[in-house]
């Protein structure tokens, strides 16, 4: 290329023009050698029908609510620390505020009266631009991350070194310890010794508890994909086909229909009839990497599984049971019928104003009448993470207070809360290791829940 030709090009250095003296004073290395792009060139835009995104109106609603809560707490800025813990749920709060995140690591700064700054990726993922610029329009200031020292320096450049700073980490009703790396929080305290660092994570958890109709629309699309996954599982679960193949078919269906490649599938299979002195894990599915195996499915097998479909960041929960044979054995069918009663009871009780205790007691009443036992029997809130608050799946006094209803029984359901159901029953008078799994995905509504997946009301017959 001639020197004259360079007149039509802009030079890209990767050094952000917005940085102030404190960030410059860190002496950070340039991300890459300067390179040239055609003058006036901008990142292309991925159409919305190619990649899901929420509207600017939804962004503005969230930012306004978040800033009001910051003002009430006397917080001037937020440091949001993300990671890929627990199937990427460690990024849930950042995705909620910025509309995006990355598995390679994402941090963000959010301010009362200025636009946020998003930090992620590494230099080689950001040339000629970072792909997030093409996929969202919520945040325009996207920078290559140099870690906590840069976040602290940016806060100093904005005159916030003596302010109250909210630190946002991730936690859930299973991941109960906030996901703060010791090095990050120690680094923040060291770099901002005069700042008042306070935990602000609970505010985001509370904001995410009730979903907007736009968020529910994302989950409705995810539920449509989840139903396709269910149908593929039933059709492809045939004698001689391996667990791994059926599992792969399910994952393929998710991704090929636009869901994110986030593989949460708790799959288990095995023979319904087996020696009494041999136990199989067929009350609930199993976690990766214990599954899937190369075990071929066989006539008379049972499959129980729970999976999440992730669309636009939103998780939709589904559980289902499949039997390989011409007719479901009667004792298994009996468990299934009670499972349906439990599911219907949840649907009927998921109305605004009903207490959590009233909902779980109604859900469990059919099982108690029938003498059924359960591994999980209840519901857990879901959205950008799972399980969110509130959730109850265990009996009172068992399994950990975060999931047994301790202290939350008198809280009331609100319109727009979203839940995955957990109906995992077995008959202790029959087999101690064989059960059914069943769920739909429910939105709390007047008159009873809206069901998003449309889970079949009969046990699937594999290969049919």
User: Average pLDDT of 190-219?
Assistant: 96
CATH 3.90.230.10 is the classification of domain 213-462: yes
* Distance between CA atoms of residues 55 and 412, nearest Å: 29
Cα–Cα distances (Å) from 256 to 74, 261, 296, in that order, read 46, 10, 25
Question: In this structure, are residues 112 and 71 in contact, taking their beta carbons and an 8 Å threshold?
Answer: yes
383/208 Cα distance (integer angstroms)? 8
Q: Is residue 172 a contact partner of residue 384, using CB atoms and an 8 Å limit?
A: no
Are 462 and 237 in contact, with CB atoms under 8 Å apart? yes
Per-residue pLDDT tens over the stretch 260-284: 998 999 999 999 999 999 999 999 9
The gap between the terminal CA atoms of the chain, to the nearest Å, is 63
Q: Is the pLDDT of residue 295 over 60?
A: yes
Per the CB < 8 A criterion, the answer to whether 320 and 232 are in contact is: no
Residues 308, 448, 388, 407, Cα dihedral to 10°: -140
**440-445: average pLDDT:** 98
pTM, rounded to two decimals: 0.95
Tokens 């968020």 correspond to 215
Total Cβ atoms within 10 A of residue 244: 15
Q: In whole angstroms, what is the distance from residue 320 CA to residue 305 CA? A: 6
Query: How buried is residue 289: exposed, middle or buried, by Cβ count under 10 Å (0-12/13-18/19+)?
Result: exposed
State the burial class of residue 240 (Cβ atoms within 10 Å of its Cβ: 0-12, 13-18, 19+). exposed
The arithmetic mean of pLDDT across residues 210-233, rounded, is 98
What count of Cα atoms within 13 Å lies in the side-chain half-sphere of residue 324?
Answer: 25
Please give the pLDDT value at position 3.
47
Question: What are the angstrom distances between the C-alpha of 129 and each of 68, 298, 321?
Answer: 33, 51, 46
Q: Say which CATH class 55-208 falls into.
A: alpha beta
Over the stretch 33-75, which tens digit does the pLDDT of each residue have?
Answer: 999 999 999 999 999 899 999 999 999 999 999 999 999 999 9
Predicted confidence band at 6 (pLDDT cuts at 50, 70, 90)? low
Is residue 240 over pLDDT 50? Answer: yes
CB burial class (10 A; 0-12, 13-18, 19+) of residue 9? middle
- Local structure of 309: helix, strand or coil: strand
Reduced to 3 states (helix: H, G, I; strand: E, B; else coil), residue 16 is coil
Tens-place pLDDT, residues 145-183? 999 999 999 999 999 999 999 999 988 888 777 888 888
For the stretch 331-390, pLDDT in tens is 999 999 999 999 999 999 999 999 999 999 999 999 999 999 999 999 999 999 999 999
Report d(CA 292, CA 265) in Å as an integer. 9
pLDDT of residue 5: 57
Q: What is the dihedral of CA 128, 134, 135, 136, to 10 degrees?
A: 110
Residue 2 clears pLDDT 50, i.e. is over it? no
- Percent share of the chain, pLDDT over 90: 89
Buried b (16+ CB within 10 A) or exposed e, 51-86: ebbbeeebbeebbeebbebbeeeebbbbbbbbbbbb
Nearest CA-CA partner of 121 in 131, 112, 113 = 131
Query: What are the Cα distances from residue 119, in Å, to 17, 24, 235?
Result: 15, 16, 44
Residue boundaries of the structural domains of the chain? 55-208, 213-462
């Amino acid at each position: 290329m001639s020197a004259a030709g360079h007149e039509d090009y802009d030079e890209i250095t990767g050094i952000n023009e917005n940085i102030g003296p404190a960030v410059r004073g860190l002496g950070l290395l340039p991300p890459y050698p300067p390179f040239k792009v055609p003058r006036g060139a901008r990142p292309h835009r991925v159409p919305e029908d190619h990649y899901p995104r929420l509207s600017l109106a939804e962004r503005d609603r969230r930012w306004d609510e978040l800033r009001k809560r910051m003002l009430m707490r006397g917080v001037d800025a937020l440091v949001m620390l993300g990671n890929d813990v627990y199937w990427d749920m460690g990024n849930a709060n950042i995705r909620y505020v910025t509309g995006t995140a990355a598995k390679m690591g994402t941090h963000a700064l959010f301010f009362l009266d200025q636009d946020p700054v998003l930090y992620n990726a590494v230099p080689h993922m950001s040339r000629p631009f970072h792909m997030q610029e093409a996929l969202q329009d919520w945040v325009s200031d996207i920078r290559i991350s140099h870690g906590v020292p840069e976040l602290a320096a940016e806060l100093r450049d904005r005159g916030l070194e003596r302010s109250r700073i909210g630190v946002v980490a991730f936690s859930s009703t299973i991941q109960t310890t906030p996901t703060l790396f010791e090095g990050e929080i120690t680094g923040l305290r060291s770099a901002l010794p005069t700042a008042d660092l306070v935990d602000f994570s609970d505010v985001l958890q509370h904001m995410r508890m009730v979903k907007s109709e736009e968020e529910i629309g994302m989950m409705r699309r995810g539920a449509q994909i989840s139903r396709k996954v269910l149908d593929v599982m039933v059709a492809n679960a045939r004698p001689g086909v391996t667990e791994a193949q059926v599992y792969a078919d399910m994952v393929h269906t998710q991704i090929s229909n636009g869901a994110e490649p986030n593989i949460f599938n708790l799959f288990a299979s095995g023979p319904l009839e087996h020696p009494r002195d041999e136990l199989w894990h067929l009350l609930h599915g199993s976690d990766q990497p214990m599954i899937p195996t190369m075990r071929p499915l066989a006539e008379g097998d049972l499959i129980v599984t729970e999976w999440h479909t992730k669309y636009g960041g939103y998780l939709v929960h589904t559980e289902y049971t499949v039997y390989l044979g011409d007719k479901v054995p009667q004792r298994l069918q009996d468990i299934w019928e009670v499972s349906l009663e439990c599911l219907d009871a949840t649907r009927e009780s998921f109305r605004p104003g009903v207490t959590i205790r009233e909902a779980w007691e109604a859900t469990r009443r059919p099982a108690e009448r029938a003498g059924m036992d359960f591994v999980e029997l209840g519901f857990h809130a879901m959205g950008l993470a799972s399980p969110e608050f509130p959730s109850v799946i265990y009996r009172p006094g068992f399994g950990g207070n975060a999931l047994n209803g301790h202290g939350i029984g008198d809280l009331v359901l609100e319109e727009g809360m979203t839940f995955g159901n957990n109906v995992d029953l077995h008959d202790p008078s029959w087999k101690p290791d064989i059960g059914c799994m069943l769920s739909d995905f429910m939105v709390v509504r007047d008159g009873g829940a809206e069901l998003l997946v449309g889970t079949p009301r009969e046990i699937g017959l594999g290969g049919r």
